[in-house]
Amino acid sequence: MAPNSSESLVELRHLTFGYGERVILDDVSLSVPRGKVTALMGASGGGKTTILRLIGGQNRAQSGQMLFDGLDVTPMNQQQLYAARRRMGMLFQFGALFADLSAFDNVAFPLREHTDLPEPMIRDIVLMKLNAVGLRGARDLMPSDLSGGMARRVALARAIALDPELVMYDEPFSGLDPISLAISADLIRKLNDSMGLTSIFVSHELEQTFAISDHVIILANGKVATEGTPEQVRQSSDPLVFQYVNALTDGPVQFHYPGPSVAEDFGAGVRA
């Protein structure tokens, strides 16, 4: 697969996807710039993780295009899809380490699965990747011996084991204490810049996300509500975006799920 000269590594062009009659993404167009850190944000269920699945070909667009380096992922056969995935790394939510493999063997897994490298070379690569996330000394620990933050960092070392061009992160900050969260955010930024990666991550955490991102995309109601630099997103006049970035309880996203009025349920004499 020859590299494309476009400024965007990933593009969605008028893409629609849903489950049954429920539309998750409705005629969405967006781009992920090469060499940058892009954050996908928005309320739960807004299609953020779905976009990661579409990029990797786990889900297929129902209409429109899902472009990776200029090539549409949707019609790819298995061989073409595997070739594209070889250029991607994925950090799953909570790490998703293999419980019966050590930290070393978790990172070695993609190298053993997708290459014919000799074990001495695999050893050197694994130790370099673990060193990049500060865990070379934890190589022999099992996942059950790792803290949540350490497990996430081992998973990150595994995600970059094959030197991908794109790394995707599904809620990398979820469940982390403040120190582990700051370490993880710093790693995303530093690895992106030092390895020449393109990074895209799903997040609900505002402060660290805005601190490390070059580009922020906020999804709402199946559409792109706004996108731009963190500062541009903060200055958005869109009521939903304003409510989201300021963590307000009052706004377009209501506390009560739509339903009958209080009077209808309890009688006309009851006030809401």
Grouped pLDDT means (10 residues each) for the chain, 272 residues: 68 92 91 94 84 92 94 93 90 83 94 91 94 90 89 90 92 84 89 92 89 93 90 86 78 70 72 56
Domains of the chain listed by start with CATH number = 8-87+164-266 (3.40.50.300), 100-163 (no CATH)
Phi-psi region of 48 (alpha: psi -120 to 50; beta: other; left: phi over 0): alpha
Q: So what's the pLDDT on residue 205?
A: 85
Place of tokens 């006049």: 237
Strand order in the sheet with 8-19: 22-33, 8-19, 63-68, 71-72
